Every structure is written in C-alpha cells, then in structure tokens.
Amino acid sequence: MTHQNLLDIAQEYGSPVYVYDADKIESQYKRLTDAFKGVDHLRVNYAVKALSNLAVLQFIHGLGAGLDTVSIQEVRLGIAAGIDPSRIMFTPNGVSLGELEAVAKMGVQINIDNLSILEQFGTRHPKTPVCVRINPHVMAGGNTNISVGHIDSKFGISIHQIPHLLRIVENTGMHINGIHMHTGSDILDIDVFLHAAEILFDTAKNFKNLDFLDFGSGFKVPYKEGDIETNIEELGSKLTTRFKTFEKSYGKSLTLVFEPGKFLVSEAGKFLVNVNVIKQTTSTVFAQVDSGFNHLIRPMFYGSRHEITNISNPEGRERFYSVVGYICETDTFATNRRIAEIAEGDILAFSNAGAYCFSMASNYNSRYRPAEVLFIDGEAQLIRERETFDDLLKHQIPLKKTVKA
C-alpha cells in the first residue's frame, strides 16, 4: 500500500480507520510455511484473538490456515466465516466445563490446561480426543504480560504435574491426541524456544497415540527500521531437524502445529488518524489526534512502540512531537518522537497496527470504534462499518420512570 492509497482510504472512510494489507498477510504466511517445508505435516492455526474480523479470517483460511481460538465466541466467528469446525482448535484458559463441552459438541479440537477440568471432562467424555497444554517453566517473551510459560504463569499444566496428569488419563481412559505449549510473545532467542521444545518432546513420550504437537507461536516482528525479529528461517531449519528425529523415535508420523497471530497480521496493519490540534507548551509540542487508547491501547498497556508517519507530508522537515489522544486521562502514543512536520488536518499512519489493536478496542469515553478496511487486489474493501450512536445505545435499557430527587 502506498501513502496515496492510505490517504484515499482516510478520505473515503474517514478517520480513525484501520487498514490491512492482504499481500503482507499472504507473504508472512508463505514465509512461515516455507521455513518449515521440510516437515511432512504442517498445520498453521491463526490466532483469532489477534484480529478477529470475519473477512480477515476468510482470507487467512483461504491461504490454507486453520484457527486457534480462546473463547466459544471466537469459535462461532470461525464457523460463521465458513471454516469447518475440524480446522479449529479451542485453547482457552480458566473457562467452565460447560463451555468446553459446548465447543466439543461442535466438532472442534479442544485443548485443556488444568487438571481439575481435565479430570471432569475425561470422566464424562472419555472418547472425545483432547489436547493438553503444558507449562514448560521457560521464561520467554517481551513484556511480562505476554510471557506465559514461566513457573508463576496461570497458563498450562506444570511439567512437574505430569505424573498426576498421567494418572488422570489412566483412570478416565480418555484419549490424549495432542500436546501443546506456548511460552510467550516477542520471542527472540531461538535456543530458548528449542529448549522448551525439548521439554515438549519429553512430555510427548508419555503418550502413545498422539496426532500432533502444538508449539504455540510468539515470534517477534520488527516494530521499527532495523529492529530485531525472530529468525524464522533458522528456527525452521533447526526445529524441523529435531521434529523429524523425534518422529522416528516416536514411531509415528505427527503433525507440527503453530498458532501465529502477530506474526501474520501485525505488519499488515496501519492505523490512520487525523491531527485535530497542534498544541505547544513550554516544553513539548503535542500532536493531538482523533483517537486514543480506546482504539489503540498497546502503547499505554504494553509500552509498545508503533512507528508514526505523517503521510500527508512525508518529506517534510522532521521535528519532535508527542502524539497524544483525545481520551480524558493520560493517553500517549509517542513521546518526543521525530516525525515529519505536522499540521492540523494531517493524516498520521501508525505501523504494526494489525495485531491486538482493533481486537482490544473499546467504547471508553463513549467513543465509536473505527471502521476496518482490507486492501486486497489493489482495492480498498470495507470490512467493518464505523460504529454510530445507535451502537452505543444498543442493549441498554432505560428506566421506565424518571427518578426524582
């Protein structure tokens, strides 16, 4: 997508607006599958939580991917997008037995990450194939909020509880058909990932009738020019060799599963905002835009960095700006960032806005959530309308009588 493409989209659909580049999603998918082309059976399950728009799910499924879901609502979105339940994995955390049973009835592969629910489900449904999520006690990932494989994490069954897990399986006679792990997001050290993989292989030896091993994902993508990222090609080469060796010792062909979200869609996304006000104080020049952390919470929540480009004046002289939103509390996207000179009415483009951006948006301050556009085959296609005031009122029930003081 060019700057002119983005300006045209902002002109047609207004701002703020999310825009996703289908070509970039496809190239990332191909990069991942090419890195593991030596694996006989590879399955990519896209992490729906990263970006759950139906059109995006349809597009990624069309590339060959299944889905990884974390709620029954995400499962239903996948089915609504036309995806067969057999291509969907349900990987929740802390959900009720009832939700797991409801999803299993749909024909979806379920993944259980605690012993209590595992025993209850196995007792009631011993013939339903179940994947189990282990916690390898490996610290990986960037921000502590997205590191999920360490010893204090709420996710997964501890590797130290494997004897208890095996006893539950034996007592219930249930069928374990997969082992899963996920260490965290923004993983840089391939050796750490491979160390966790060895723990997964060791765990898998305890189960004699597995169909797949799910290695999660968490691959880091670059957030600025020259930024480091996961070397997916090196990981593919090393893990493929180790996986094929394990298959031979296991005595059965297995499917290698990944569940990428950010890796597939992060770099494909742009978030376009309009500059409402240039406000100069004694120490700072603020560019105040028509959005806030209600639309893009990552900088405030995770401290994440998103490159910001003034696409209305990309060749302008660079100055330092703090880019802030219109929410009535501290609402900062960037502090003292060097950006081409900004004027009121300019359009700014935030990069890496494809993953965990719109999907984490809210109506805080009673603001509307923005439109979404997919740029595909050289054309902009609206895939979600901007909300209206009617959307804010929907599902609210006013009092029948006015309360008098």
pLDDT in tens, 239-248: 999 999 999 9
CATH topology of domain 269-385: Lyase, Ornithine Decarboxylase; Chain A, domain 1 (2.40.37)
Q: Where are the domains of the chain?
A: 22-262, 269-385
Catalytic center residues? 328
Question: What is the pLDDT, as a whole number, of residue 145?
Answer: 46
Average pLDDT over residues 252-270: 97
Residues of the chain above pLDDT 90, percent: 86
Instruction: Select from 3.20.20.10, 3.40.190.80, 3.30.1370.10, 3.30.450.20 the CATH code of 22-262.
Output: 3.20.20.10
pLDDT in tens, 307-340: 999 999 999 999 999 999 999 999 999 999 999 9
pTM attached to this predicted model: 0.94
22-262 and 269-385, same CATH topology: no
Band of pLDDT at residue 142, cut at 50, 70 and 90: low
Per residue, the 3-state secondary structure of 343-399, as one string, reads CCCCEEEECCCCCCCHHHCCCHHHCCCCEEEEEECCEEEEEECCCCHHHHHCCCCCC
> Of 36-45, 92-101, 363-372, 393-402, which gets the smallest average pLDDT?
393-402
Question: What is the pLDDT, as a whole number, of residue 218?
Answer: 82
Average pLDDT over residues 286-297: 97
